[in-house]
Amino acid sequence: MAVASARRRPRPVTTMNDALGTMPEGPAAWTRRWIARRLFAIGIVIALVLTVVWATTPVAYFWPGWIFFAVLFPSAMTWSVRLALRAKVRRPLAVHAAVSFVISAALVAIWLLSSHRIFWPIWPMLGLVIVFAAHALFAPSGSTWREKALAERVDVLTRSRRGALDVHVAEMRRVERDLHDGAQARLVSLGMSLGMADELLDSDPAGAHRQLAEARRAAGDALADLRALVKGIMPPVLADRGLAGAVYALVVASPLPVEVTMELPAERLPAPVESAAYFAIAEALTNVIKHSGASFAWVVVMQANGVLSMTVGDDGHGGADPGQGSGLRGIQHRLEAFDGTMQLSSPSGGPTVVTMEVPCELSSPKT
């Protein structure tokens, strides 16, 4: 009921808008528009009237044919071009064909209405066919540059979406396995220890104590596992402080001196971008610490003109190769999911610079 009445209501509003829209035009303009819309019908009516007039006269030559010609030619041209514009592929060629066809038809009509002797329209028609053939043969085959760009974009999106889904599925599988082998197993062991403590309580208090201590250890280990897991999915410091704070926390915990430059807006970045950016920077910094032999690293994070750009560099020995591990490719896939890119420069001998970019419009305007 409610839906039906809600649907019905907008109508009067629309009508009123129409009325308001047409009101200042005045009757003269309205008449002009009415005639313009019915030009074709009016032309046909005039031509028919003239045909009747012709029939009552003894003149043999069918002169009203020219009136029909004048009315039909522009309309035929308009309709056929409109039809051609609806073509899904090779639209310019379709328009060319339509125009050529209507011109040919017009030439034949002129030939019919004038002398019936030699069929001269064959020559201009031949010319039209040759020009059309040339167009069909030499025009860029199939698609315009726009269509090509779109096709390329679809390819990129398909690939990046598959990459992102792969990353996602792998991530979920890892979470499941970590829970299964970690926290869940520890909770089972905790339950067993408690059960045994319960049994031993009266007969062997010392044994019960040992089981309780065991249970407590299992609970602590389960918590530690869950903590590590959460950190890998959604680091609490990122939720607390946003990208700038979280990057700063990485730097505070880094064994290497890291110079940080951040130019980020006060408001938070969109959460998915923020998370992808954080993990990208974290992986790049981990690589510096693990692989580079560097004595110094630097991080630049900036958001400007709708792009978040991140650079992580080190003065180590270089030679980074995404083919040798999973971290750098992981970054690439994560960023591609947001239309982002990663570029790596790591000549043998160093230095290594990882440059990453993600398009990033701010989620909420400042209030």
Partner 1 sequence: MRAVIAEDLALLRDGLIRLLTAHDVEVVAAVGDGPSIVGALLDHRPDVAVVDVRLPPTFTNEGLLAAIEARKRLPGLPVVVLSQYVEPLYARELLSDRGGGLGYLLKDRVMDVGTFVESVRRVAAGGTVMDPEVVSQLFEKRARDEQIGRLTPREREVLALVAEGRSNAAVADHLVVSEKAVSKHIANIFLKLDLAPSEDDNRRVMAVLAYLDS
Phi-psi region of 291 (alpha: psi -120 to 50; beta: other; left: phi over 0): alpha
Report the nearest approach of Mg ion to the CB of residue 264 (Å): 24
CA atoms within 13 A on the CB side of 77: 11
Could you tell me which stretch among 63-71, 176-184, 262-270, 289-297 binds ligand ADP (CB under 6 A)? 289-297
- Within 315-354, the residues that bind Mg ion by CB under 5 A are 327
Could you tell me which stretch among 30-38, 198-206, 250-258, 324-332 binds ligand ADP (CB under 6 A)? 324-332
User: Which CB sits closer to ligand ADP, 97 or 282?
Assistant: 282
Per CB under 6 A, 314 contacts ligand ADP: yes
User: Which CB sits closer to Mg ion, 211 or 292?
Assistant: 292
- Which of 260, 322, 355, 362 binds ligand ADP (CB under 6 A)? It is 322
Report the nearest approach of ligand ADP to the CB of residue 290 (Å): 6
User: Which CB sits closer to Mg ion, 100 or 287?
Assistant: 287
Residues that bind partner 1 (CB under 8 A): 216, 219-220, 223-224, 227, 230-231, 236-237, 239-241, 245, 248-249, 252-255
User: Which CB sits closer to ligand ADP, 315 or 339?
Assistant: 315
Residues with Cβ within 8 Å of residue 89, at least 6 apart in sequence = 142, 143
> Among 225, 226, 245, which residue's Cα sits nearest to residue 237?
245
Report the nearest approach of ligand ADP to the CB of residue 144 (Å): 40
Encoded tokens for 41: 């019908």
Report the nearest approach of partner 1 to the CB of residue 194 (Å): 13
Distance, in Å, from the CA atom of 186 to the CA atom of 180, rounded to the nearest integer, reads 9
User: Which CB sits closer to ligand ADP, 121 or 351?
Assistant: 351
User: Which CB sits closer to ligand ADP, 273 or 297?
Assistant: 297
- Which of 100, 211, 287, 311 binds Mg ion (CB under 5 A)? It is 287
Per CB under 6 A, 92 contacts ligand ADP: no
Q: Tell me which residue has tokens 């999106």.
A: 157
Per CB under 6 A, 332 contacts ligand ADP: no
Per CB under 6 A, 326 contacts ligand ADP: yes
User: Which CB sits closer to Mg ion, 100 or 352?
Assistant: 352
Per CB under 6 A, 256 contacts ligand ADP: no
User: How many CB atoms are closer than 10 A to CB 327?
Assistant: 19
User: Pick from partner 1, ligand ADP, Mg ion, none: which does 288 bind, CB < 5 to 8 A by kind?
Assistant: ligand ADP
Number of residues that bind ligand ADP (CB under 6 A): 19
User: Pick from ligand ADP, Mg ion, partner 1, none: which does 253 bind, CB < 5 to 8 A by kind?
Assistant: partner 1
Contacting residues toward ligand ADP, per CB under 6 A: 287-288, 290-292, 314, 316, 318-322, 324-329, 352
